Amino acid sequence: MSVVDQISPSDPIVILTGAGISKESGLHTFRDPDGIWAKHRIEDVATPEAFARDPEKVLGFYNVRRSQMTESGVEPNAAHAALGELEAFWPGGVTVVTQNIDDLHERGGSKNLIHMHGELSRTRCNDCGAIVDGLGDLDPGMTCDNCSAVGTLRPHVVWFGEMPLEMDRILAALADCGLFMSIGTSGNVYPAAGFVQEARAHGAATVELNLEESLGASAFHEARYGPATEVVTGFVAELKARAAQ
């Protein structure tokens, strides 16, 4: 029996997404053979120590990723759109918790959205914490408009060794959900990789929708493998039929 038959339309749904959901929109994942960590060392571009040591290199790395995200042709794909539609029709409510720092979920229609690893389109001052939207390319010579510090502006992105954002809100949603869906993530990075156990501990049905088995595959009640634009759209269609029953 599918998890779709086990849940009630009044059950809240929590959906965790990773880089795999944006792959068919043209953005790289991290750990696929052609992934970002095959070309860059995490210690060089995605830690607070790297930013202190070589801000030019770190800001340059994110400037390239930001321009790729805003490039023409990088659009939300059918999986993003299906999650936006699900949020609109599912009676129990939907919370998307994304590890992604791109803006494709917003552009795909998701509204109840938590960016636990931050957002590439936002900039934060390392000194005063002020957050600014849409600054574009960053360089170490820039001044914070809020505290006038120079060289403290960084992407509002969570680096390795830093705490993910909105964990209280995420854990509350996991404690309350009837269905936990994991899409396009390899299960390499905690705390996100542990969310399936958290949801199960509170009695939720769990499903993995991914191109291939993640490291946490055995923790899920059900799994469907294939490109997100196929498996996510198919699963959401079944939820739509379930909501209509």
Residues labelled catalytic:
117
**What residue has token string 């636990």?**
116
* Token digits of residue 198: 């958290």
Build a one-symbol-per-residue string for 77-106: x at contacts with ligand APR by CB under 6 A, - elsewhere: ----------------------x-------
Q: Alpha-carbon distance 220 to 217, whole Å?
A: 6
* Token digits of residue 101: 């720092």
Stretch that binds ligand APR, among 4-12, 31-39, 105-113, 137-145 (CB under 6 A): 31-39
Q: Find which of ligand APR, Zn ion, none residue 13 binds, CB within 5 to 8 Å per kind.
A: none
Q: Which residues 6+ apart lie within 8 Å of 160 measured at CB?
A: 42, 46, 47
* Token digits of residue 236: 């959401």
Cβ closest to ligand APR, residue 99 vs residue 123: 99
Stretch that binds ligand APR, among 8-16, 28-36, 55-63, 198-206 (CB under 6 A): 28-36
The alpha carbon of residue 100 and the mean position of all alpha carbons in its chain are separated, in whole angstroms, by 3
Cβ closest to ligand APR, residue 76 vs residue 184: 184
Query: Does 31 participate in binding ligand APR (rule CB under 6 A)?
Result: yes
Binding-site ranges for Zn ion (CB under 5 A):
125, 127-128, 130, 144, 146-147, 149
Is residue 36 within 8 A of residue 29, CB to CB? The reply is yes
The alpha carbons of the chain give a radius of gyration, in whole angstroms, of: 18
176-195 binders of ligand APR (CB under 6 A): 184-186, 188-189
